[in-house]
Amino acid sequence: MYSILVLHGPNLNLLGRREPGVYGSVALDEIVCRLEEEAQALDVNLVSLQSNHEGVLIDAIHDAFDQHDGILINPGAYTHTSVALRDAIVGVSLPTVEIHLSNIHRREEFRHHSYIAPVAIGQICGFGADSYRLGLHALVTHLQQL
């Protein structure tokens, strides 16, 4: 059974009431709940963590090294700023899928660049809460093909 670490970066705890026109009205708890159901159907174990702190996310990536088979991450704003998060992913060399609710490429220019994308298997963005489900499927399919 595959085990996947799901990381939610800064401000994603506000989902549901944060800029609903951009991020939708589904709360993070609901997203995690839907993902758990999807994981059960795929026979995959999920561990989810949200943090507003870069170091907490980095520690969780380090701890994933011998505990998980892959990482699903919405790095939030750290996508566009964090070399440290990128280095952590490279450091543990676990297959990683980057997720965003919004299509970051259609938004402000500063959101177009991701430090994570070049070290991820791929990036899924623009499908709202469904980006997570699509990302989970993409990651599991990738793991099955290894």
CA nearest to 98, candidates 111, 108, 21: 111
* String of contacts with ligand DQA for each residue 9-38, x by CB under 6 A: --x---------------------------
Element (H, E) at 134: helix 130-144
Q: Is residue 111 within the footprint of ligand DQA (CB under 6 A)?
A: yes
Q: 3-state DSSP helix/strand/coil percent for the chain, to nearest 5?
A: 50, 20, 35
100 catalytically annotated = yes
Give, as ranges, the residues between 51 and 80 that touch ligand DQA (CB under 6 A).
74, 76-77, 79
Q: Is residue 123 within the footprint of ligand DQA (CB under 6 A)?
A: no
Report the residue number, 33 or 77, with the smaller CB distance to ligand DQA. Answer: 77
CA distances, 69 to each of 64, 87, 121 (Å): 8, 18, 13
Of these residues, 8, 68, 78, 100, which one is catalytic?
A: 100
* List 48, 50, 96, 102, residue binding ligand DQA (CB under 6 A): 102
**Tokens 């589904």 belong to which residue?**
26
Residue 27 beta carbon to ligand DQA: minimum distance, rounded to whole angstroms: 14
DSSP string, 65-91: TTT-SEEEEE-GGGGGT-HHHHHHHHH
Residue 124: phi and psi, rounded to 5, are: -120, 125
Q: Under rule CB under 6 A, how many of the chain's residues touch ligand DQA?
A: 10
23 catalytically annotated = yes
Give, as ranges, the residues between 82 and 101 that touch ligand DQA (CB under 6 A).
100-101
Chain contacts with ligand DQA (rule: CB under 6 A)? 11, 74, 76-77, 79, 100-102, 104, 111
